[in-house]
Amino acid sequence: MAKYRDTLPSQLGWIHDLAKAEVHPDAERLLQLGQAFNPQQLIEENTIDFLTELRAHLDEYVRIFNSYSDGATRFAEIKIYQLAQAAADFMAFRNQIKLVFSNSAHGVIQIAFSQHGRGALGVDGSTGDAEQVQELIAEVGPFRDVYWTYRGEKVTAEQVAKFYFAEFVRVSRDMSRSRVRNQALLDQIKSLLEEKGIDLK
């Protein structure tokens, strides 16, 4: 039952259309409702649904991740922002690093890392010739179902969210703060060993 409760309302719109046609069959005939299959509209609607689901997963991951930061005292928190002038585009931001999800063209969702003020980054955080933008492509199946692919392989919003969230955390980590903490930890270990009379030389 939980699976049905988690379904987005927009995914059930077709049932409402069928029921309305049952109530007013003459109106359906006059307006020719439901007669023409429009793959372009189907993809546009599904793109918004996919981006909305993707953001819902990332919002949850960010909430859990940020709960370990003690109000940003232990590490910088991740923020999620809606992009202006777009129905469902959004980005994650931390330590001057952005991860942007955008509907760049019909049936295409682009995913890109960039450093604020410095431009594009590869998924591994590199600034060289690494592939800067990655794309998810919409496909329409035989039963008018829309699915998303990455390099020809079907993917789900949850898979995409998990992968890019983990990469974003790693790429946006504040390395200077990490080095300070690591040095402090090494100094503590060294002191403990010296107290026990262990020579490190």
How would residue 130 be classed by pLDDT, with cut points 50, 70 and 90? very low
Q: Using alpha carbons, select from 127, 133, 92, 130 the residue that is nearest to residue 110.
A: 133
Q: Which residues contact 155 (CB under 8 A, 6 or more apart)?
A: 136, 148, 149
- What pLDDT digit, counting tens, does each position of 58-72 carry? 999 999 999 999 988
- What pLDDT digit, counting tens, does each position of 66-91 carry? 999 998 899 999 999 999 888 899 99
The predicted model scores a pTM of: 0.70
Strands 97-105 and 146-150: unpaired
Cα–Cα distance for residue pair 127/92, rounded to 1 Å: 19
